[in-house]
Amino acid sequence: MKSSPPADGPLLQVQGVGKRFGRIHAVDEVSFDLWPGEVLAVVGESGSGKSTLLNLVAGRLAADSGAVLYRSQDRGLEDLVTMDEPRRRYLARSEWGFVHQSPRDGLRLKVSAGANVGERLMALGARHYGRIRGAAADWLARVEVPLDRLDDLPETFSGGMQQRLQIARNLVTAPRLVLLDEPTGGLDVSVQARLLDLLRNLVADLDLAVVIVTHDLAVARLLSHRMLVMQRGRVVETGLTDQVLDDPQAAYSQLLVASILQG
Ligand code: ADP
Ligand code: MG
């Protein structure tokens, strides 16, 4: 058995993290903590730095400044900003999930649905074919992909089904931290509702720690405990989701909330 890390403490501590692209300050001095089992929504309009922040948190982009401390199972607190690439890849396989806005970025479209899920277990050392296939089938059922599609290529799936498959691929390894970038972004409204419902149940059942990026305040309302409102790379407001949405304090959050009410 692995020794368990101290339960008392955030899973993730983002401390004054910053990222520039040329003259654009995409993320500017952003800080937040994420506790085990907590769902944090990052909201803001297009271009406010949400995806950049998520990529900094995943170590997919190197921050120019600040620290991203992650509490791993085996080593305790580690800084993603200075972590070497093999270690980052190991954590990405074993402890994290990352769901892209476009399933095309998070799936292998020319490999069967079952293999898309199963290969994540193989990457962690699973070798027993029957068990891998069984786990893949279980996960397809959980995300409501019909079992007779197990051997089909994801490129033959609808957008909603592809996104559900991407979620299965990212949860099959029982990650501790899941990062989602606009997971309902490209989908029709009715398909979005079903995916959100599914996500909400999975997050609760698996007790996941989640950072979800969205420009849709209804998504934040449904899924998150706390939220962080970004404008031009900065956090302009943070608080409990219901509090921020019912009584926004920052002028920018007031505008965001008003614009959806007029929607
Ligand atoms: P959001 O996800 O909130 O729409 P992004 O994080 O994608 O915002 O972008 C924040 C800002 O950084 C935008 O001005 C965007 O144009 C810029 N940006 C993002 N990624 C890059 C990149 N790879 N190269 C140059 N500029 C980028
Ligand atoms: Mg984005």
- Residue 35 backbone phi and psi in degrees, to 5: -95, 155
At residue 4, the pLDDT reads 52
At residue 263, the pLDDT reads 47
For ion ligand 2, residues whose CB falls within 5 Å: 51
At residue 227, the pLDDT reads 98
Q: Is 23 in the pocket of ligand 1 (CB under 6 A)?
A: no
The Cα-based distances of 213 to 45, 51, 144 in angstroms read 11, 7, 23
pLDDT digits (tens, 9 = 90+) for 84-119: 999 999 999 999 999 999 999 999 999 999 999 999
At residue 185, the pLDDT reads 87
What pTM, to 2 d.p., does this model score? 0.94
Per the CB < 8 A criterion, the answer to whether 96 and 175 are in contact is yes
Could you give the maximum distance between any two Cα atoms of the chain, in Å?
A: 56
Q: Is 214 in the pocket of ligand 1 (CB under 6 A)?
A: no
Q: Is 26 in the pocket of ligand 1 (CB under 6 A)?
A: yes
At residue 2, the pLDDT reads 47
For residue 55, which atom of ligand 1 is closest to its CA?
Answer: 6
Q: List, for the chain, all residue ranges whose pLDDT scores fall below the cut of 50.
A: 1-2, 5, 263
Q: Which ligand is nearest to the CA of 55?
A: 1
Separation CA 245–CA 242 (nearest Å): 5
Place of tokens 């279980």: 138
At residue 155, the pLDDT reads 96
Q: Is 55 in the pocket of ligand 1 (CB under 6 A)?
A: no
For residue 48, which atom of ligand 1 is closest to its CA?
Answer: 3
pLDDT digits (tens, 9 = 90+) for 151-176: 999 999 999 999 999 999 999 999 99
At residue 7, the pLDDT reads 56
